[in-house]
Amino acid sequence: MLRPSQSEDANLTSAGGDSDFGISQNKEFIPASQWGQDVSINRDLVKSNLQKIQKDIAHSKVKIVAVTKYFGLDAILAGYEAGIRNFGESRALEAIEKLKNLPDDVRQNSTFHFIGHLQSNKAEKVVEHFDVIESVDSLKLAKKISEAACRLNKREKVLLQINNAGEEQKSGYSKEELRAEFKDIISLTGIEVCGLMNMAPLGVDEDELARLFGDIREFRNELEKEFNVTLPELSMGMSNDYKIALREGATIIRIGRKLFT
């Protein structure tokens, strides 16, 4: 596996999910140009890595979403064999091809999360193949997802993505924007709003990460009180910061590099 160019690194840090994947200088990883291709996965290493992570989260009920978007089908199979049942993908068409080729038992017993920026014209395909969409960032997209889910006679679970650090290169609502649209979103019949998702900035210190994660938790609490809803899920934390996210109330952590390399 080759190290991507700097331009590919930029893609890795803005695509959703385990965005720190390409940062470690002593880890091999998949170039952005090779997303979705089959690569060699060490299944024993995946099991060992998972056990280490499970020790870190032993006293919590957090769900691990294995970020397999940089890998081929074998990563999902290795994660499943290790005991993982939640998987995250972000490139719609390539991910759907992977899902179509999974063994029936793996597909039926796993939950698939779409964690990248979703274009509205791909909403129906993603709703058809994914169980959770974590990256809803506009009322327009929420409506497309709801309409697609209604046509498919299902109710899609979604998380609303918050960009509370105000990073221009990342998708996501500001808190003010979401509060303004929240009532309309929760009224849509084809979706179930389960909580919020956050992607923390790279290169900030632990205190700032804790502040940003805590801010998402507090904002979730405000929405629950203001709109009389329950939002049980907080998807926060990736390979380099999940311990901080756990301390601030994460219920879902999205792990790629730390599992597969």
Q: How do residues 6-23 score in pLDDT, each as one tens digit?
A: 322 333 333 455 543 332
AA identity, residue 150? C
Domain hosting 109: range is 6-260
Highest mean pLDDT among 1-5, 14-18, 205-209: 205-209
Helix and strand tally (H, E) in the chain?
A: 11, 8
**Alpha-carbon span 55 to 77, nearest angstrom:** 22
> Of 10-19, 48-57, 132-141, 208-217, which gets the smallest average pLDDT?
10-19
**Domain-located, residue 54:** yes
- For 236-250, give the DSSP string: ---TTTHHHHHHTT-
Q: What Cα–Cα distance (Å) separates residue 19 from each residue in 104, 121, 225, 241?
A: 30, 24, 32, 11
**Domain-located, residue 47:** yes
**Mean of pLDDT over the chain:** 87
Please state the rounded mean pLDDT for residues 233-254.
96
Three-class secondary structure of residue 196 per DSSP: strand
AA identity, residue 66? A
With beta carbons less than 8 A apart as the criterion, state whether 198 and 216 touch. yes
With beta carbons less than 8 A apart as the criterion, state whether 216 and 196 touch. yes
Please state the rounded mean pLDDT for residues 143-153.
98
pLDDT (0 to 100) of residue 157:
98
With beta carbons less than 8 A apart as the criterion, state whether 155 and 149 touch. yes
Radius of gyration of the chain (CA): 17
> Would you place residue 169 in the very low, low, confident or very high pLDDT band (cuts 50, 70, 90)?
confident
CATH code: domain of residue 98: 3.20.20.10
**Alpha-carbon span 59 to 166, nearest angstrom:** 32
List Cβ<8 Å contacts ≥24 apart for 99-105: 99/129, 100/129, 101/73, 102/73, 102/76, 102/77, 103/77
Strand partners, 133: 114, 158
> Of 28-37, 129-138, 220-229, which gets the smallest average pLDDT?
28-37
Three-class secondary structure of residue 65 per DSSP: strand
AA identity, residue 192? E
pTM (two decimals): 0.86
Dihedral angle of Cα 58, 45, 252, 106, to the nearest 10 degrees: -110
pLDDT (0 to 100) of residue 124:
96
In sequence order, which residues have a C-beta less than 8 Å from that of residue 176 and are 6 or more positions away?
none
**Number of domains making up the chain:** 1
> Of 7-21, 101-115, 127-141, 222-236, which gets the smallest average pLDDT?
7-21
pLDDT (0 to 100) of residue 18:
56
AA identity, residue 145? I
**Domain-located, residue 1:** no
Task: Kindly tell me if the per-residue pLDDT of 33 is higher than 90.
Answer: no
